């Protein structure tokens, strides 16, 4: 995405990653729009940030949010609340894509490590990923490791693909919140990040200046695939609830239309 080709919408803008995405977007020259559920939160953002009120769980409230957008960064999450996982982790992606309709936008979606492990609410994160892949929009999907558990000298970006067993603690991998935001924003203008899904970690060493060199070796998701490159084939579409299959087909239909 060219930085002058439209607005960068941040979904989840008031969260700890979303706020950093707003900052990174401004630093990289984007016109940034923050989606807010509560109008009073507008005072939390600089004057040069557009703010728009809408509820990611209610698609009828999102028309103004997506008007004129050139890119969308999703940083929302239910953060361990199983009751909200369907409406937030999955529903927000479905609703924003529906509001976009046939318009085009570059997408960066923050998901989670362990998205394919079938535990907890990860299935809803994975379903949200599948909607993005099926949408036909150019995208990057980032699965960050544990937030801000990295040491001061642990800033070298490590992008991994392929499933592995997880312990459920920071031994699975770490990454700074600031770096998650930076990777999400930089992916929007990177051809090397296009149609790629990866875990984001940090290892000992300085942060790279050229992120394209880190994106480039990654395998792109296969064309028309529901899951990421090297993901486990452990969530058959035929076994998914009928509503989920129908919503996925609706997204595919808009992409083909």
Q: What is the pLDDT of residue 102?
A: 87
The answer to whether the beta carbons of residues 94 and 134 sit under 8 Å apart is no
In the chain, % of residues over pLDDT 70: 98
pLDDT tens per residue across span 137-183: 999 999 999 999 999 999 999 999 998 889 999 999 999 999 999 99
C-alpha angle with apex 181: 43 to 198, nearest 5 degrees?
Answer: 150
pLDDT tens per residue across span 175-197: 999 999 999 999 999 999 999 99
Q: Is 143 helix (H, G, I), strand (E, B) or coil?
A: strand
Measured CA distances, 41 to 12, 31, 186, 217 (Å):
12, 19, 26, 40
pTM value?
Answer: 0.96
Backbone angles phi, psi at 98, to 5 degrees: -65, -40
Q: What is the pLDDT of residue 2?
A: 58
Residue identified by tokens 């109008």 is 39
Structural domains of the chain ordered from first start: 7-256 (3.40.50.720)
How far the first Cα of the chain sits from its last, in Å, is: 22
Sign of CA dihedral 127, 131, 132, 136: positive
Look up residue 34 and give its two tokens: 């923050």
User: Per-residue pLDDT for 255 more than 90?
Assistant: no
Nearest to 9 by CA among 82, 81, 103: 103
Q: What is the pLDDT of residue 40?
A: 96
Averaged over 63-88, what is the pLDDT? 92
Averaged over 199-222, what is the pLDDT? 97
User: Per-residue pLDDT for 257 more than 90?
Assistant: no
| 256 HSE (CA, 13 A, CB side) | 8
Cross-strand bridge partners of residue 141: 109, 197
Look up residue 198 and give its two tokens: 């990866």
pLDDT tier for residue 3 given thresholds of 50, 70 and 90: low
pLDDT tier for residue 83 given thresholds of 50, 70 and 90: confident
Cα 240 off chain centre by: 22
Averaged over 76-93, what is the pLDDT? 90
Other C-beta atoms lying within 10 Å of the C-beta of residue 241:
9
User: Per-residue pLDDT for 10 more than 90?
Assistant: yes
Report the length, in residues, of the chain.
Answer: 257
pLDDT tier for residue 80 given thresholds of 50, 70 and 90: confident
Averaged over 207-232, what is the pLDDT? 96
Cα 234 off chain centre by: 22
Q: What is the pLDDT of residue 129?
A: 98
User: Per-residue pLDDT for 107 more than 70?
Assistant: yes
User: Per-residue pLDDT for 5 more than 90?
Assistant: no
The answer to whether the beta carbons of residues 232 and 116 sit under 8 Å apart is yes
Q: Is 70 helix (H, G, I), strand (E, B) or coil?
A: strand
């Amino acid at each position: 995405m060219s930085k002058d080709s439209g607005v960068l919408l941040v979904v989840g803008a008031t969260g700890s990653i979303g706020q950093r995405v707003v900052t990174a977007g401004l630093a990289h020259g984007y016109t940034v729009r923050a989606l807010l559920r509560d109008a009073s939160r507008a005072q939390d953002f600089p004057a040069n940030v557009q703010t728009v009120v809408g509820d990611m769980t209610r698609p009828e409230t999102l028309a103004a949010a997506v008007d004129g957008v050139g890119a969308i960064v999703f940083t929302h999450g239910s953060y361990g609340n199983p009751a909200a996982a369907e409406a937030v982790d999955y529903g927000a992606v479905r609703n924003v894509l529906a509001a976009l309709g046939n318009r085009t936008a570059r997408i960066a979606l923050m998901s989670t490590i362990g998205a394919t492990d079938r535990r907890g609410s990860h299935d809803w994160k994975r379903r949200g990923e599948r909607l993005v892949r099926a949408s036909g929009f150019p995208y990057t999907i980032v699965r960050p490791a544990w937030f801000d558990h990295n040491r001061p000298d642990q800033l070298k970006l490590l992008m991994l693909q392929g499933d592995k067993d997880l312990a459920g603690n920071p031994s699975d991998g770490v990454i700074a919140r600031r770096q998650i935001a930076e990777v999400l924003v930089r992916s929007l203008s990177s051809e090397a990040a296009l149609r790629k899904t990866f875990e984001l970690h940090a290892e000992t060493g300085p942060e790279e200046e050229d992120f394209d060199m880190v994106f480039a070796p990654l395998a792109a998701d296969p064309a028309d695939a529901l899951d990421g490159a090297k993901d486990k084939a452990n969530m058959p579409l035929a076994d998914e609830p009928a509503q989920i299959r129908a919503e996925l087909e609706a997204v595919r239909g808009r992409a083909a239309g």
